[in-house]
Amino acid sequence: MTKADSSSYLENAFTLESLRDSLIRQEDSVIFSLIERAKFPVNSNTYDKSYISVPGFGGSLAEFFVRNTEDVHAKAGRYKTPEENPFFPEHLLPPVVPPFPYPEVLHPASAFININKSIWKVYFDELLPLIAAPGDDGNYASTAASDLACLQALSRRIHYGKFVAEVKFRESPQDYEPAIRSQDREALLKLLTFESVEEMVKKRVAKKAMVFGQEVSLDTDDKEGNYKVNPSVVSRLYEEWVMPLTKIVQVEYLLLRLD
Ligand SMILES: O=C(O)C(=O)C[C@]1(C(=O)O)C=C[C@@H](O)C=C1
């Protein structure tokens, strides 16, 4: 696809409705990744810096796993698409693949918006204790791999706010420009918030957690209420962290939209 092709594709493909459809699809990825992580108990050695000894590296196994996996992903070109943001952008290796002409939808400065440090903290400090049962089964590498899948799904979803903000701006620049010029975060937050949409998101993710995480058996007496991830935890995840962080990304994006 040439750049010209991709920009007309872009005009048709990026509407608020199509972006919301993508957010809905991404809910599936987030919930499945949580279900996979919930297979393992907490496995606290995965997060204990003193558990591993790697010369020149003082982090946990989880951090070791994420950094090294991101190196491979960076070489394969993952972070060249504007939809992906690394957790450790400081030390990434250059891609071995040729550049792809991704449509230039976003303001160039948006490349510097990366709130993965906050996502990392919320995931390990707040969410993990709610989805993983206490205990230790020794599967630390698989645990770190499933943590990374959760982190990536959450990061992609939350940073998608850049696209949502761009489309909202394009649809009504006259509403957003005064608040951007005065760098008024509160006003921007108010403009981009749709409470009725948020209510639907909370209900839908709880329902998906019920459907995706139920025990499926061929017996007639299926055990209801025995879910792999608690649906109310998923709803709370979205209410308290995913949607607020997506809104922070949107505000940060809009603040630099006229630069
Ligand atoms: O759908 C939107 O308009 C969004 O901005 C996305 C989102 C969300 O994170 O799900 C965030 C803010 C809105 O209040 C509603 C939903």
Compute the distance from residue 5 Cα to the ligand 1 centre, in Å. Answer: 29
Residue 9 in this model has a pLDDT that exceeds 70: no
CA angle 213, 238, 193 (to 5 degrees): 145
- Structural domain boundaries, residue 22: 3-256
Ligand 1 in contact with 23 (CB < 6 A)?
yes
Compute the distance from residue 20 Cα to the ligand 1 centre, in Å. Answer: 8
CA dist 101 and 105 (Å) reads: 11
Q: Which residues contact 136 (CB under 8 A, 6 or more apart)?
A: 41, 42, 43, 44, 45
Ligand 1 in contact with 254 (CB < 6 A)?
no
CATH of the domain at 194: 1.10.590.10
Q: Whose CA is nearest to atom 9 of ligand 1?
A: 243
C-alpha to C-alpha distances, 39 to 35, 98, 136, 171, nearest whole angstrom: 7, 38, 12, 43
Ligand 1 in contact with 164 (CB < 6 A)?
yes
pLDDT band at 220 (very low <50, low <70, confident <90, very high): low
Ligand 1 in contact with 21 (CB < 6 A)?
no
Compute the distance from residue 162 Cα to the ligand 1 centre, in Å. Answer: 11
Compute the distance from residue 118 Cα to the ligand 1 centre, in Å. Answer: 19
Query: Does the ipTM exceed 0.85?
Result: yes
Compute the distance from residue 194 Cα to the ligand 1 centre, in Å. Answer: 6
Residue 108 in this model has a pLDDT that exceeds 90: yes
Give the tokens for residue 108: 């160039």
Closest C-alpha among 201, 150, 200 to residue 31: 150
Instruction: Find residue 54's DSSP bridge partners.
Output: 57
Q: Which atom of ligand 1 is nearest to the CA of 20?
A: 1
Q: Tell which one of 26, 192, 203, 238 to mutate to probe ligand 1, the residue whose CB is within 8 A of the most ligand atoms.
A: 192
Residue 11 in this model has a pLDDT that exceeds 90: no
Count of domains in the chain? Answer: 1
Task: Give the mean pLDDT of 208-225.
Answer: 84
Return phi, psi of residue 200, to 5°.
-65, -40
pLDDT band at 106 (very low <50, low <70, confident <90, very high): very high
CA dist 92 and 21 (Å) reads: 31
- Tens of pLDDT, residue by residue over 81-104, are 999 999 999 989 999 999 999 989
Q: Which atom of ligand 1 is nearest to the CA of 194?
A: 14
CB 19 within 8 A of CB 160: yes
Q: Tell which one of 27, 164, 188 to mutate to probe ligand 1, the residue whose CB is within 8 A of the most ligand atoms.
A: 164
